[in-house]
């Protein structure tokens, strides 16, 4: 008896199948392991610059509704919202740079973990206090960048050396801050600002307090979620997406296609 020969799919069907499986694999990786994130603002300078491209490690803290990406405006894991339980869950540590969903708008933000559940946080003349103890802060020179329109949005940086013209140097004082667990990182300060003094608050159970490293240019947990600047406030555990571990690519231009604006010295740089 002659053996039946299986008919091969046509080239169009084969292409459709290939694209489908590729999208399926990419979606699984994005949902379960890594999520790409492009830095849109200067709130985390000098740790992260506008135009840095990184992957967010989702496995670091486990999974919640926020771990599931939205497509075409549809939140596919919205049914799980409101649960404090995280699959394979682990809490971030002080000093981790974390991507999370804004508690009200659902937008993705990236900031540094400063306060854990139960911590008392305050700022006095820009000096951070955790549980009544001032955090070590030492001068670390001056951060200098070119005063120019940055990234796709085209925003200009804030400077401590007055109002430079386009193309001139923009300066900010840089400090090294060391948290109680020994994590150290650079922060920027360009002078007196209203958020330099922040009354003591206690971080509620199951929530976290975040701040940007560019202290005078970061709308973070020091600002109310419902205020005019749509601050972050306290962030629930379930809103955490993952940890920023490494910069993969970086471009200072309005588009990643402008190869002459690539920052090759930042490729594959660890986030500290």
Active site members: 43, 111
- With CA atoms as reference, report the closest residue to 120 among 219, 225, 200: 200
Residue 40's nearest CA partner among 209, 212, 198, 192 is 212
What letter does residue 217 receive in the DSSP assignment? Answer: G
Question: Is 99:242 a contact under the CB 8 Å cutoff?
Answer: yes
* E-only strand ranges, 70-135: 70-71, 74-75, 97-101, 108-115, 120-124, 127-130, 133-134
Report the distance separating Cα 41 and Cα 47, nearest Å.
Answer: 12
Burial letters 200-231, b for 16+ CB under 10 A, else e? ebebeeebbbbbbbbbbbbbbbbbebeeeeeb
DSSP state of 264: G
Q: Are the beta carbons of 49 and 212 closer than 8 angstroms?
A: no
Is the peptide bond between 46 and the residue preceding it cis, with omega within 30 degrees of 0? yes
Residue 15 DSSP SS3: helix
Distance CA 112, CA 115 (A): 9
């Amino acid at each position: 008896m002659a053996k039946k020969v299986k008919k091969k799919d046509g080239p169009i069907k084969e292409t459709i199948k290939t694209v489908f499986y590729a999208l399926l694999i990419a979606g699984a990786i994005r949902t379960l392991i890594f999520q790409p994130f492009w830095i849109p603002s200067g709130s985390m300078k000098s740790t992260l610059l506008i135009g840095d491209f990184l992957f967010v490690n989702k496995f670091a803290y486990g999974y919640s509704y926020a771990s599931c990406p939205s497509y075409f405006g549809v939140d596919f894991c919205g049914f799980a919202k409101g649960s404090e339980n995280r699959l394979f869950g682990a809490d971030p540590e002080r000093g981790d740079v974390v991507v999370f969903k804004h508690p009200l708008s659902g937008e993705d933000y990236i900031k540094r973990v400063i306060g854990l559940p139960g911590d008392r946080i305050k700022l006095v003349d820009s000096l951070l206090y955790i549980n009544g103890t001032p955090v070590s802060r030492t001068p670390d020179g001056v951060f200098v960048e070119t005063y120019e329109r940055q990234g796709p949005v085209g925003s200009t940086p804030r400077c401590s050396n007055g109002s430079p013209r386009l193309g001139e140097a923009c300066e900010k004082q840089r400090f090294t801050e060391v948290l109680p667990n020994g994590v150290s990182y650079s922060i920027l300060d360009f002078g007196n600002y209203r958020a330099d003094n922040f009354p003591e608050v206690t971080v509620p159970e199951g929530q976290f307090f975040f701040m940007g490293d560019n202290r005078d240019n970061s709308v973070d947990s020091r600002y109310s979620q419902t205020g005019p600047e749509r601050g972050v406030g306290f962030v629930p555990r379930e809103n955490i997406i993952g940890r920023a571990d490494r910069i993969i690519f970086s471009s200072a231009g309005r588009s990643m296609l402008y190869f002459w604006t690539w920052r090759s010295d930042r490729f594959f740089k660890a986030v500290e």
